[in-house]
Amino acid sequence: MTERRLETATFAGGCFWCMVKPFDTLPGIEKVVSGYSGGHVENPTYEQVKSGATGHMESIQITYDPALFPYAKLLELYWAQIDPTDDGGQFIDRGSNYRTAVFYQNDEQRKLAEQSKEELAASNRFRKPIVTQILPTAPFYPAEEEHQKFYKKNPHRYAEEISESGRAVFIKEHWQKRER
């Protein structure tokens, strides 16, 4: 019997509360952790990151089985959760800590991320340029426990955040397939 080989993917997509659920229960996804990546402070707190002073972005780190859920599929799902044209944050959440980025772990992830970004730009789905950054992996610091699996712990607040932030409307308007 062959041992499963798990890999890691890290994405910044604005509010990490909103980014976990779309990935969390899919076959081949072992775990999704909310946290912080891309900054210059070791072990930052939520309040430090929220202030914008640490350089971190709210991120999720996904442990997955590429045989069941390939990285290219993770990228497809990632793009469909964000506004890749907004470099000032995501939806109602503004600031550098809410920017979008793909943190690649290796050359293969980098190539796939760059290719998917180019394909998205060529699709003409958006009128503005795609500004999501493709960056080398950076230290990832898990967020405090109250931020983990927020959608399960606080379903009403999660629903409010998705709705009131404008994320749900944006996803419906820009990402859900339209009948022609």
d(CA 62, CA 67): 15
Q: Among the options 9, 12, 15, 102, which is catalytic?
A: 15
Q: Rounded to a whole number, what is the distance in angstroms from the first to the last CA of the chain?
A: 47
- CA 123 from centre of chain: 21
State the burial class of residue 109 (Cβ atoms within 10 Å of its Cβ: 0-12, 13-18, 19+).
buried
Contacts of residues 135-138 at CB distance under 8 Å and 24 or more positions apart, as own/partner, are: 135/38, 135/101, 135/102, 135/103, 135/104, 136/103, 136/104, 136/110, 137/10, 137/103, 137/104, 137/105, 138/10, 138/37, 138/38, 138/39, 138/103
Please indicate whether residue 18 is annotated as part of the active site.
no
Q: Which residues are catalytic?
A: 15
